Amino acid sequence: MNQINPQLICALTGKKKEEVPELPTLSALPSKYVQLVSKNIKKIVPPFESNLQFLICKNCGKKAQYNLGHLTINLRNYNKNKQAEVDEYVQPTGYFRCKQCNSAGKWDITNEYRIMLISALMMLSSNSEDSRFSLGENRLFDGSSHTYATDSEEHLLNTLMESKEDSFVWNRLGNLYYKGGRADLAACAYEHSIALNPQQTESLFSLGMILSAIGEAQEAANYLHKMLISSSSYRQMKASDLRDLLSNGLNELFHLNTLSNGVISVPPPIELYKEFHINIPSSEEGSIEVLEGEIVTDDLTSFYPIAELFMGERSKELPGNKKYFMKKKKKKRKRKK
């Protein structure tokens, strides 16, 4: 049982519901990487620690164990109405569908899970911490809030019914699968997002990171290079967040460069700039100097100067004192002499 929503296949292929099997397999997804990622999914560090609980499917009555991931508990709503079942106030990140009948979002909870949730509530209200839980409410980009990851998925897929070509919503769907522990479905959604918009910087980043984690170094680098080049025209992210995203991607490119003994370059190849019709970024002194500067891998801020160079015009939106490029670069010039 692959736990795939038939509606995802409809959205990807334009097929009608009747044309799609109720229990689809991965091969029904139009995707280059979904099977490869699925086969290697254990190589990807899970976004949250495992949180296995038994749930009972309201549709077929079968009880099975599911990985709920991180739980966000809405204490405010719980305090307003304690009559409802406690799981109605809990948003698990884990993406799961009934292992028996593939339906989703309608669950009866076990006593064990109920007790765990109530003790988590008591613990969190007394300010104790536990990485498996937090208080609050998760909202999607459009402000809507849903209980299970499959409810959020349905909302995003319905949104995509209205605007099939929205590469940003496809990116958000990819993020939902990724956080839900389904990097395979995430890769598929990111691929589709990039097919719709080859300069969807966030999808290029996320697909590159997934492929890198499963050892597909060349393919990963290709997406991360495109992430760098596309960033100067990407407007769906705050400038400071964009710089962090690029810095994470650059960090990965430096790792890939080391692992490949220099075969994979950190700067994107010139052909990619031509493909995207974007000029090669340069300062008065040229960009290559910066790439030879001091980089401390895994220290994000050490990548800020390069990230800002690729951001081009968008780096001007960063608050003045947060700009790293010119300041750092001059120091490096002196040291080199």
Binding site for Zn ion (CB under 5 A): 57, 59-60, 98, 100-101
User: Shortest approach of Zn ion to residue 146 CB, angstroms?
Assistant: 20
User: Shortest approach of Zn ion to residue 13 CB, angstroms?
Assistant: 25
Nearest residue (CB) to Zn ion, 60 versus 161: 60
- What is the C-alpha to C-alpha distance for residues 61 and 59, in angstroms, rounded to an integer? 6
Contact 124, 133 (CB under 8 A): yes
- What is the C-alpha to C-alpha distance for residues 180 and 185, in angstroms, rounded to an integer? 10
Nearest residue (CB) to Zn ion, 147 versus 283: 147
Contact 152, 172 (CB under 8 A): no
User: Shortest approach of Zn ion to residue 203 CB, angstroms?
Assistant: 32
Nearest residue (CB) to Zn ion, 58 versus 238: 58
Q: Three-state SS for 213? A: helix
Lay out the sheet containing 63-67: strands in order across: 63-67, 52-57, 107-109
Structure tokens at 311: 């951001």
φ, ψ (nearest 5 deg) of residue 197: -145, 100
Furthest CA-CA distance within the chain:
74
User: Shortest approach of Zn ion to residue 16 CB, angstroms?
Assistant: 24
User: Shortest approach of Zn ion to residue 59 CB, angstroms?
Assistant: 4
Ramachandran class of 105: left when φ > 0, alpha when ψ lies in -120 to 50, beta otherwise: left
Nearest residue (CB) to Zn ion, 134 versus 147: 147
Structure tokens at 168: 């940003």
Structure tokens at 70: 């991180």
- What is the C-alpha to C-alpha distance for residues 56 and 22, in angstroms, rounded to an integer? 20
Q: How many CB atoms lie within 10 A of CB 56?
A: 17
User: Shortest approach of Zn ion to residue 97 CB, angstroms?
Assistant: 8
Nearest residue (CB) to Zn ion, 64 versus 326: 64
User: Shortest approach of Zn ion to residue 98 CB, angstroms?
Assistant: 3
Nearest residue (CB) to Zn ion, 45 versus 52: 52
